[in-house]
Each structure stands twice: as C-alpha cells, then as structure tokens.
Amino acid sequence: MFEQFAGLRKEAELFFRTLQDEITTTLEIVDGAGKFRQDLWERPGGGGGRTRIMAEGRVFDKAGVNWSAVHGDSPQNPDLKFFATGISLVLHPRSPKIPTIHANFRFLQNSSGDAWFGGGIDLTPYYLDEDDAHEFHLKLKVACDRHDIGYYPRFKKWCDEYFYIKHRGETRGIGGIFFDQLGGNERELDKIFLFVQEMGQTFLPAYVPIVEKHRGDSYSEEEERWQLLRHGRYVEFNLVYDKGTVFGLETNGRTESILMSLPTLARWEYDMQPKAGSPEAKLLDVLRNPREWATIT
C-alpha cells in the first residue's frame, strides 16, 4: 500500500466504521423491534467490510448500513493501485408516509497520488410534506455553511442533477446534497475531511425527527401501492445510473452488500398516471421541477 496520506486513510477508515456503529445503534432504538444482522466479508484482491441489515422491523422494512475498506488494482487503470473506504446506507420504511433515505461518504486514493472524498445525503418521500423538506434541507445547509457558504447551493444542484432518472424526466426524490472528487493537497484534504465528518454526524438529526413525526400516521392500500411504484423508480435509478453500484460491481465488491440499497418489494404498471390535483401528482410535480427547499421565507 502507498504511504502518502497514510494517516488520513486510517482516520477516515476509523471514522466511517465508528459512524456505522452510531447509526445502527440509534436505528435499532428508533425501530423498537428490529435488529441488525451483521455479515463480515473479505474482498478478493484486498480488504473487506461489514454489512449490517435490518429486515422486517417495526418501522423499517429494510435498512442496510455498510462499511468497507478495500484495495487492489484499479478497474479503470490496471497499472494503478487503489484504496477506498466509506459508509453507505439506505433505509426503506414500511409506511409510505415515512421517506426512504440514502447517504454515503467515502475516501478514495490511487497510487498516482490522487486522493479525494465524495458522498452526500438525499431524501425520497412517497408523500410530500413541505415542512419536512424544508427542515431537512435547512439542516444540511447549516452544516455546509459552517465549512463553506458555497457548498450547499453547489452540492444541492449537483444532487438534483445526479439523482435524475433521465428516461422518466424526474428526480429520484427531493434531493439533499451530493459531492464527488473533492481533493487536493494534504491540508485541503484535512479540511474536506472535517466537512465530511460533520455531514456524517448530521444524518441522524436530519432524518430521525421525520420518522418520529410520521411513524403513527395511518395509510391505505392505495398509498402502499403508490409506494411500491416509487420503489420501482428507485430500482431503475440504482441499476441504470448509480455510479457507486457500477464501481462496486467492477471492483469485485460483495454483490449482496452492493445491492442492499434495493427495496424488498417494487411494482411497475403500464403508463400509470396519478389523478390531477392528487397528493401523488403533487409529488411528481416536485420531482419534475426541483425546488429550493432551504430558502427561508
């Protein structure tokens, strides 16, 4: 393994592993019934990880929180070696009134001397609560602003553009932030790492209040059906466009861990169109026309 940034590699690996512990412990408390199953795995070629999955909990139908630290030959250039460590998580609630959420944070380095951080947090509601959307984005903005006032608008736009289902003409959800290949020299990387750590610590405060607010909401079979249709859109994005999924498969990552982001159930219907003025149509309008949620009015 190359020696440059050796200290940062160790710090990032430890932070992501510790963050996995904090998040899974809290989610078990929030769920109240479900427990995470842990699988330790090794990657052919170097490294490995811990995959933790909660299935059929009281609140979460499926929750996956994965940590890994892997290394070996670069899939883009066999002459280079790479190292990657990070945490990736997706939570799919039972209730259509509680949004799905995704987050990931990662550090990558190759033997040519390049090193960078990437990641983000994004929210995928099935029924739009504008207050939730505002508070979620505002918490992300406040955390971003503590490091660089330009981060939130830049990364919010990046998120809307990245999580875009081109063949549907809509975003996967109401966004959040997304960033990639933030790198530079050691001093710059240290500053970016502080930002990444704060964003990782922002995940639970940004999401858990939304879960608690809606965990007792009632819902109908039709609302469940709509949730399954939106699950289908989630699957389409992850399998067609998501770069993390492609990278994991190309680097011989553990398939079960890579595909943990997919919901347990999904549905597709031919040319399904919601009724004009319905809550479903309201959500679609936002997905087709992203808003500036963090604006204070």
Task: Outline where 103-179 has alpha helix (H).
Answer: 130-145, 151-162
The backbone region for 291, taken as left when phi is positive above 0, alpha when psi lies in -120 to 50, beta otherwise, is beta
What is the rounded CA–CA span in Å between residue 275 and residue 61? 28
Q: Which of 13, 18, 23 is nearest to 203 (CA)?
A: 23
Structure tokens at 73: 């030959």
What is the rounded CA–CA span in Å between residue 100 and residue 179? 20
Which residues, in sequence order, are CB contacts of 21 under 8 Å at separation 6+?
A: none
What is the rounded CA–CA span in Å between residue 118 and residue 193? 10
Active site residue 102: yes
Decide the pairing of beta strands 175-183 and 47-55.
unpaired
What is the rounded CA–CA span in Å between residue 250 and residue 244? 10
Residue 164 per-residue DSSP state: E
**Quick check: 109 and 83 in contact, CB under 8 A?**
yes
- C-alpha distances (whole Å) from 8 to each of 14, 157, 162 are 10, 28, 27
The one-letter code for the residue type at 20 is: Q
Catalytic position from the list 71, 92, 102, 214 = 102
Catalytic site positions = 102
